[in-house]
Structure formats: structure tokens, C-alpha cells
Copies of this chain bind each other. A is one copy, B any other.
Amino acid sequence: MFETQTINVDEVISETLPTRAFAAQSSTSQLALWNFERRAVGPRDVLIKIRYCGVCHTDIHFLKNDLGFSVYPLVPGHEIVGIVTRTGDLVKKFSEGDVVGVGCLVESCRTCANCKEGEEQYCLNGAVYTYNGIEKETGNITYGGYSSQVVVNEDFVLHVSDKLPLEKVAPLLCAGITTYSPLRRWNIGKNHRVAIVGLGGLGHMAVKFARSFGADVTLLSTSPLKEQDALALGANQFAVTTDDVQVQKLTGSFDFILDTICSQHDLNIYLGMLKTHGSLVYLGIDPAPSKIALVSMVFSGRTVAGSLIGGIAETQEMLNYCAEHNITSDVEIIDIKDINEAYVRMVNKDVKYRFVIDMATL
């Protein structure tokens, strides 16, 4: 009797999970409804019913195969918040009903120097991304958060405070940590003059974090129309980078510049605005090389660095910080049927500041 029961339980747990999603079938197709099977919930796994999923510009890069390694069908989405609906036998950190988040990573080697230092995003054996990665447990492609549910090892699941509106938390899982992490690594705080380049999903979070850390913040944009919004979000100053006079005035002004622009652009304008020994951190993943006037960096001892999201522990730290300081993303909630239109609007910079899909509409 006991034996039979055990076998039954195993069978239930080992069943794959029918899942609804929106997927692209090729680099030229639109996103549309697609059904697939999630892996069975393993002993250390958490099953999450997805409530909201943020829409990141990276989703568009992958849909269009801009980086050259997209696999189709592609289910984007790595700004996931939801509710735990099942936990594996050995799960210790989460219980059914917990509010949780999943960001860009769902697994890593856990043994390399970077993983051991909590920087799973830089896993030397290749972190498993939430979509378009190779699922360690099955060898299948990972599918992201434009879906009804997701199965994730508990070590890559984040606790989310119930103090904050869930839909506004979703973008923190990528836009939030991607801007929080470099600001923390460079110890940005009081007495720092900081510029944020671009006022999109990442840029608006960067303004909020930099201000919260005590920095004096200038928002730099190619569009004069962003001024009111930038100031409303907390920026101390605003400047238009297509205006040579304004650019000239800012020469040598900033200790730190966070460049949140995802498309190709000229970094040299911003480099010239750095103080001696100032740093510009670039967050884009456009594969085309940029022309950098290194000589101007030599004559002022300036730095350009790249930064990629953040590790799991730091993401949790960021979420806790946001709950404590009431920081969330400004979002526009959409139905999943409107996702293709939302992509067009994002390319046209017509969003304040992050689309978030209400997954109840799936």
C-alpha cells in the first residue's frame, strides 16, 4: 500500500506541465499563442503561476535574432512575478502562496569563481538564461515569462515583498537590478554628480536609484520632451545631448555616467562629460562595435566599463531595498494580445516606462 502510494506521488511530480505562452516561431514572425510542456517540478524546484511579466528591450533583440543565437519557438520574458503554486520535496526557502520573482537567470554552474562570489550572471561555464538558454535539468530550450507558469530551482527564485504593487515590481527583475548593480559597484552616493543617459525602462529606474542613494542626478536625452518627466522622476537637472551648447557646458562634469541606451550611439559625447577618473558604465547588448576616442580617455584618466544585470543575492538585496524605500517601476499594463503593438511602441520610444503584461489575459 505504502509502496503504491509512493509510486503514485512520484508519477504526479514527474509529470510535465502543460503551459500556455506567447511565442515567436521565427525572427520575422509576431508573437502568438503557443502551448508547450514545462518540465516536471523537481525536488528543489518551485512552480510559479505568473501574474505579471515585464517587457524588456532584450526581448525584441532576441525575437529579431540581433545577437545571432536565437532559437525558435522563442518565448521571451525575464521580468517575472507570480505566486508559488507547488514546491519540490526539498525546497526550503519557499512555500505555496509566496509572492516571488524570477529575473534573467534560472541556473548556473554554481562551482566557478564567479558563481561562488554570487555573480551567477557572469558564470564562467555559462549561466542559464530564463529564455533561449539550455535547461540544465532537461537539455531543452528555456522558455520565458510570457507564459502561464514557470518551474525554477529555488536558488534562482527571489522573495518579493507584499508591500509593493506586484505589477510595478516585475521590471525590477531586469531593469531594476541592471541599474542598481553598477551604481552599487561604483559606490554612488552623496557628493557624486551622476548622469543617466536615456529615459526608458532602465533609465527611469537608474534615476530613482541614483537619487535614492543621494547622488545629484542629471538626465541626458536626445529629446527635449523628456525634461518634465525626468524632473518629475527625481532628476535634479536635465540636458539635451543634441544641443552642442548644453553638451559643451557639461564637459568634465560627472563622476559617473550610466548609459542605458540599447541601440547604437556615439559614446564620445558622454565620455567628454566625465570628470578626471570618472567612469561611464554601458549596459547595452548591441553587438556592433563602438568607436571610442581613447585619447580623450587617456588625457583625463577616464574609464568605460560594461555591466550585466546582477547576481541572485544582489537582486534580492535590490528587491529588499525597493520594498524598504518604496521604489518601483512606472508601468503601463497591457493585455498579452497587444504585445506586438507594444514592441512597435517600444521601438518608437513610446512607453512610460515599462510595459508589463497582465498574464491573467493569456
Contact = CB atoms under 8 A, between A and B. Distances in A.
Interface in A265-300: 267-268, 276-277, 279, 282-287, 289-300
Contacts of A295: 284-287, 306
Nearest to A124: B252
A303 B282 CA distance: 10
A304 B307 contact: no
A302 interface: yes
Contacts of A299: 122, 285, 306, 308
A232 interface: no
A283 B303 contact: no
Contact of A293 (B289, B294, B307): B289
Given A114-B276, A122-B276, A252-B124, A297 B293 contact: no
A252 B126 CA distance: 13
Contacts of A9: none
Nearest to A283: B298
A305 interface: yes
A301 interface: yes
A1 B264 CA distance: 78
A45 interface: no
A47 B162 CA distance: 74
A28 B50 CA distance: 71
A305 B281 CA distance: 12
A290 B287 contact: no
A303 to B, nearest CB: 4
A293 B279 CA distance: 17
A279 to B, nearest CB: 8
A208 to B, nearest CB: 22
Given A276-B114, A287-B293, A289-B292, A301 B252 contact: no
B308 A298 contact: yes
- Residue from A124, A284, A292, A301 with most neighbouring chain B CB atoms (10 Å): A301
Interface string A95-113: 0000000000000000000
Contacts of A276: 114, 119, 122, 124
B298 A284 contact: yes
A252 to B, nearest CB: 7
A297 B291 contact: no
B300 A294 contact: no
Interface string A197-233: 0000000000000000000000000000000000000
A302 B301 contact: no
Contact of A304 (B252, B286, B287, B304): B304
A301 B291 contact: no
Contacts of A307: 298, 301
A302 B300 contact: no
A287 B292 CA distance: 10
A283 B295 CA distance: 8
A193 to B, nearest CB: 12
8 contacts: A124-B252, A287-B295, A290-B291, A297-B305, A298-B307, A298-B308, A301-B306, A303-B306
